[in-house]
Structure 1
Amino acid sequence: MNASLEAPVPPTSYSLVLPPGWRQIPLRKGTERAVMRVLDHAFEGMPRDEVFAYRRDLEARLWQRIEDARKADGLDLYLPVELMHGISVPASILVSETRLTGGEGLDPQEAALLMAGSEGRREVVDLDGAPAVRAERTAQPDPELGAEFPSRRVDYQVPVPGQSWRWLTVAFSTVGAEDVDGELSLLLVDLFDAVMTTFRWRSPSDTQPSQRDQNTRGAR
């Protein structure tokens, strides 16, 4: 059969190019190994017996975030593990799967327009040559869910090519104890938008990604 007439191979994964100092924690397999790498990096060069309590505390907080992410049907969690300009980065990126009820056969462009019109501060954007929905909002504190401070959140909802009922949600959150509209929060939002310009679908026929593009997980 002529290759030009063959149906495109559906993607099996995606890739993101992250800023320096960010790490990926896969949530469905390989999680424990990724957590250990994050901890080893955080306490590199420090005497293990002197930082044992701090390491144990950080590990407990990481696993709590992982469990929360899994409850949200998360696929991957991305966290900053290094300082940026000398300060800790209060942010995270969660990639999860969403299924649209009754979305079978719906054109992705139509679905994106419907989703964008469902509430304010949503817009249709181009992502890897296809329509996606970007939403931005401020979330209020919710102590019952462990959120002590307000946060600025930005979500990108991306349809899986060839499977209109399946979408990926790439959700960014930054916590601002003082001001979620402050300079740091806005800078981090700009950084996340820049990261999303690198979003690409990958299929089995794609070449092996470079080391810089290794932040890749399945769309499943």
Structure 2
Amino acid sequence: MNTLEIPKTAVGGYTLLMPPGWDRIPLRSKSETQDAIKGIVDHAVTYLDPATPKDKVTQARLELHNRLNRAVADARRRNGVDVYLPVEPIHGFVAPASFLVSKVFPGFAAQTSPSEIMSHLTKDFGPSEDIELDDVPGVRCQRSVPANPKEEDSVPSRQVNYVVPVPDSGEVSEWLIVSFTTLTPEGTPQDFLEILTELFDAVMTTFRWSTA
């Protein structure tokens, strides 16, 4: 991508149409975050066998609550504003995947071109292709991420990133990164991986900027 022609229109947010079985955790407000986590946990335990002992239900709630809080902490470290997670099983299986929406402020000098900033933001994201999100040009990158040898329970993953500048009536200073990550432990069927990736790309076709 040689140049970026960015619309001079200020926006305040975005909308996405998520598929059934996915839920959003907002990250900017701690109270809203915890309300969303509680709602997901409450919904998840409804799938347990009604005969499950109460102590097992409590344990399941606690484990899920802790897992979601770890995901939230990681998302906030990545400048996340929203994280989307599958909350309902499909054919008895909950996909090991997530969508993360982040806003970043690269902080480059005023004379740095948007194309140069884009190159910096995506330098570790793998091969890229030009895309548009609601008429704003950007790039889509895809890469395979190996397991972290320093983490005992780490497994490989596939990551897809959409990166675009946030339209502004003045100088562009904010960038949006929408990341899809799915775990790919050994034996993950390739067709299943492709279905999840296609799902994310389909969701991104519904992306719209908003003024709210």
TM-score calculated relative to the size of structure 1: 0.79
Runs of 5+ unmatched residues, structure 1? 1-6, 205-220
Match of 1:102 in 2: 108
Alignment of 1:50-89 (within 5 A): 50-89=56-95
Distance 1:55 1:113, change over 3 A: closer
Match of 2:4 in 1: none
Q: Letter of the aligned partner of 1:153 in structure 2?
A: Q
How big is the shift at 1:148?
A: 1.5
Q: Does the 8 Å CA contact 2:102/2:176 hold for their aligned counterparts?
A: yes
Match of 2:133 in 1: 127
Counterpart Cα distance in 1 of 2:81 and 2:63: 24
Distance 1:83 1:105, change over 3 A: farther
1:176 aligns with 2:184: yes
Q: 1:42 aligns with which of 41, 44, 55?
A: 44
Q: Does the 8 Å CA contact 2:122/2:141 hold for their aligned counterparts?
A: no
Q: Counterpart of 2:174 in 1: which secondary structure?
A: strand
Alignment of 1:16-35 (within 5 A): 16-29=16-29, 30-35=32-37
Q: Letter of the aligned partner of 1:199 in structure 2?
A: F
Distance 1:151 1:180, change over 3 A: farther
Count of matched residue pairs: 197
How big is the shift at 1:105?
A: 6.4
Counterpart Cα distance in 2 of 1:33 and 1:135: 33
State the Cα deviation string for residues 144-186 of structure 1 (Å, max 9, x = none).
3576210000001121101522101101000011256711111
Q: Does the 8 Å CA contact 1:127/1:199 hold for their aligned counterparts?
A: yes
Q: Letter of the aligned partner of 2:26 in structure 1?
A: P
Match of 1:92 in 2: 98
Q: Does the 8 Å CA contact 2:21/2:86 hold for their aligned counterparts?
A: yes
Counterpart Cα distance in 2 of 1:66 and 1:202: 24
Counterpart Cα distance in 1 of 2:47 and 2:157: 33
Counterpart Cα distance in 2 of 1:180 and 1:152: 11
Counterpart Cα distance in 2 of 1:15 and 1:123: 23
Q: Letter of the aligned partner of 2:209 in structure 1?
A: W
Match of 1:194 in 2: 202
